Amino acid sequence: MAMELFLGQRRLPIDAALFDLDGTLVHSLGDFVVALGALLDDLQLPGIDAEEAAPLLGKGVDHLVHTVLARSVGVERATALFPRARPIYWRHYTAVNGLHSHVYAGVREALARLHAGGVQLACVTNKPMAFAQPLLRAMGLQDCFALVTGGDSHPRMKPDPLPLLAACDRLGAAPARTLMVGDSTNDSEAARAAGCPVVLMRYGYNHGVPVDQVDCDAALDDMTELFGPSGGAPCPTSLENRA
């Protein structure tokens, strides 16, 4: 059963929807700032604030840690320091994952509305699964998705289309009828390459670039704008356990 969404003047029938996590479903910047600050403190390097950290998110843990190190010590030394820094960051992030995060307004309502319309839902993130699944649980979103894939679930991450195409295959949905909902060029490029329609949330991170400047089918302020004026409901029980 397909559900029809409205993106501007375009009517879009979809069978499935894929969601990015950080900056799309959950405002998790606070967790990153605390964990990165603890890492930098351990290494006796200058700290980082939210404004500096936000544009660095979305390309996976290794890219984030290396980039943050390079800000202080340069690329060459950051590369040498990375093997020591990565497990330190991993430990600090694990300790704070979800403590300084919250679900964006409109997300629960949108997920419930899509599920009620018969749309298969998946979370497709570049976050490692060891971080993604605990964050979804902490936010009470774990039962909203039939499928969760992380940055270490496939050989390549977004913006490569592989994670999206694999999710479509697992859900049994054609890419052209699978909506990608994200907040960055990673999501847009992956969706375009996979043949999926894509909408981007303006409240996300997107490497410091407004999503209105990115190729997408629509840029939204609130996820419920997919439906126009509407109500919502709590997340459904796990789609994996549906009869």
Q: pLDDT (tens digit, 9 = 90+) per residue, 53-89?
A: 999 998 889 999 999 999 999 999 999 999 999 999 9
Domains, the chain, ordered by start:
3-27+102-241 (3.40.50.1000), 29-96 (1.10.150)
Q: What is the pLDDT of residue 11?
A: 82
Quick: pLDDT tens for 93-147. 999 999 999 999 999 999 999 999 999 999 999 999 999 999 999 999 999 999 9
Q: How far apart are CA 134 and CA 95, in angstroms?
A: 11
Q: By three-state DSSP, how is residue 113 classified?
A: helix
> Which range has the worst mean pLDDT, 89-93, 121-125, 174-178, 229-233?
229-233
Asked about 20 being catalytic, the answer comes back as yes
Name the average pLDDT for the chain: 91
β-bridge pairing 120-124 and 102-103: unpaired
Residues in the chain: 243
Q: How far apart are CA 132 and CA 240, in angstroms?
A: 18
Q: What is the pLDDT of residue 243?
A: 23
State the catalytic residue, choosing from 20, 22, 31, 217. 20
DSSP tag of 54: G
What does the block give as tokens for 20? 């990015």
Quick: pLDDT tens for 152-168. 999 999 999 999 999 99
